[in-house]
Chains A and B, each alone.
Chain A
């Protein structure tokens, strides 16, 4: 369930030695419905298939963990190494169903189900159709243009995933506690963007000084003044 930015290491980060942005996401109510579908793979005759058992104990934690945060307005930094993410198809679901990648990154779509899947997207940022492919096979897609890409499966209408293609390399998925950190941000003025599939996009301006951490907090789904609030120096 966690973001796998396995080799999201930037060579320039150490040189610039910028500050961190700490933030919290507060969500006070449930924003979306999560249908838990039956797991596939039990195609033995007579075996019962469990359906619609929502095991999520804390729905707000689930909502918080489905928020993507990234920076806009920073200096352009070309991607020197191809960042990679993966969205698996498992039990007729995309796992994870939200990934945040910098523009130019590549996402793999491996199929772990004993049935066919057909992953496709019609989004402006990137439209693709991977065709039907079977268990054990995988496909790779590169996302050069920033934006939100909605990913579906032709065969299973309930399968959906979102890929947030950030214009910068500072892009994370908030953890279940609603906490995120954008590390080593060079000094400058940025816009912090929080995106939730149902709640929408929220922006806040933040100014980063030399070695001066900043803090930003979003309360979803309410819109707040977009002026940045300076955070006291540590």
Chain B
């Protein structure tokens, strides 16, 4: 994957930390939630236990009250009457039921029943809309204590004995309609695992039944309904048996009880988490930046080096990190080695060029030193014309090589005294093309090709090999042409003596505008006799010193070889 170093650093520090942070926050939150829920569950359970105890105490109180009712003399008299008249006497039963109605009414009961010592029902009344009515008690079998249903109404009853002279003569069963909403906590009443009354309107009875099925009747129970956690505690003892067994349980939603706290906690953790994440983001960005920045600097530096071709050294102690220092050190060392090898290369190249020129000059004693002189003259002209240093370099080396093509021409033709036949002339005139062919395959000499190829073109198009006109010939070639012509004229030949400087300038001026570039000719003429000045620095025939002389001529600090290489490496506008 192509990814920036800074990005990679950022991601590799941020992502693990973010994940770690998120996971730890989640774990802490879950643990806090669990703790809170446990605490709540405990308090809910305590509540329910207290409630159950309170209910038991209330039942005890109610029992005492009911025992007072059992002492009612009128009721006792009624029971005696009933006993005397026999259980089948309708009137006697009416009498007792009438008494029961009164008691029920004055004490706000909904159900009252007396049964004999053997448990046989004697009389019973229930409350109907606004009043009381006796019931067909034969089918009623209320428990001594607990719940039973009659005609679709659920009653909660308690029984007390009716005593006479320390012996129980009857049992009085008293009860009220069961109202589940009287409990302080949400409660549910089950009849043999079937919900008959529940305070939870949002829960379907079947759900409650299903969830409570796993609970032990007499123990606390944790259960889940609709994904919510509930706590169920038995309220009172289960009673009855078979189909008529009832169980009263509390059923409280622990999640709902802890919901407000949970919301607060969730908000708190969310805010804290986001703050921590943001902090992490900032820290990661900063650290990745501090790690990557020195590297980025190095990379920028290297890219600049690649763009410009220069290999400047890094300043010491950049970035501070040991690795970065090592890296820059290594780069500096490598750059130094490259520079040295470049220098060596340049030197070898210059030596090669010098060798070529020397080889050429050596063929003919009369033309000995011609290339060197043309180079010097050309350099002088270029300097006089205020050309750039790079241009002067090209001109200097190009001028050294300008007659290289003569290598490919027979000595017979080249050194023939006297006039040349047209064929021979044509042969001679091929030397720029030959020179170009020789050099064009050498890498690094591309810049000089135009000088070698075109230094015999005339301004008016009468030159060779292409007959280019005016500005079509590059300035380098035009300069070298003038210097070449001058040196040819001022050199001695076997068949003639060389012209004087003034004569040569005169000749040059005569063809200025037609063959020669007038500007170049004038610049050269203004320089005066170059030959007299040459002595001072052409004393040494060494090619190396020649090169140095060229360079000193153009006032360059020593050494400037890398610049030469640089020129070679670039695509210069040669024309």
Contact = CB atoms under 8 A, between A and B. Distances in A.
Do chains A and B interact in one complex?
A: yes
Contact of A155 (B81, B130, B131, B133): B81
B105 A114 contact: no
Given A45-B135, A51-B105, A116-B81, A155 B91 contact: no
Given A116-B91, A132-B85, A155-B77, A43 B129 contact: no
Contacts of B91: 114-116, 134-135
A50 interface: yes
Contacts of B92: 116, 132
A157 B73 contact: yes
A197 interface: no
Given A132-B81, A155-B77, A155-B81, A49 B94 contact: no
B94 A48 contact: no
B101 interface: yes
Nearest to B92: A116
B102 interface: yes
Contacts of B85: 116, 132
A201 to B, nearest CB: 29
B: interface residue count bin: 20 to 34
Contacts of A155: 74, 77-78, 81, 95, 99
A232 B94 CA distance: 59
Contacts of A158: 102
B172 to A, nearest CB: 16
A47 interface: yes
Contact of A48 (B84, B102, B130, B134): B130
A158 to B, nearest CB: 8
B95 A115 contact: yes
Contacts, number: 67
A119 to B, nearest CB: 12
Contacts of A92: 98
Contact of A49 (B73, B101, B135, B136): B101
A154 interface: yes
B128 interface: yes
A92 B105 CA distance: 15
A137 to B, nearest CB: 11
B74 A157 contact: yes
Contacts of B132: 49
A129 to B, nearest CB: 11
Interface string B348-383: 000000000000000000000000000000000000
A115 B131 contact: no
B94 A114 contact: yes
A135 B99 CA distance: 16
Interface string B89-124: 001101101110110010000000000000000000
Contacts of A140: none
30 contacts: A38-B101, A43-B98, A43-B133, A43-B134, A44-B133, A46-B128, A47-B131, A48-B128, A48-B129, A49-B132, A49-B133, A50-B131, A51-B131, A114-B94, A115-B91, A115-B95, A115-B98, A116-B78, A116-B81, A116-B85, A116-B92, A116-B95, A132-B92, A134-B91, A135-B91, A155-B77, A155-B78, A155-B95, A157-B74, A158-B102
4 residue pairs, one from A and one from B, having the closest CB atoms: A48-B131, A115-B95, A49-B131, A154-B77
Given A116-B91, A118-B81, 8 more contacts: A38-B102, A43-B98, A43-B133, A46-B128, A116-B85, A155-B95, A156-B74, A156-B99
Interface of B: 73-74, 77-78, 81, 84-85, 91-92, 94-95, 97-99, 101-102, 105, 128-136
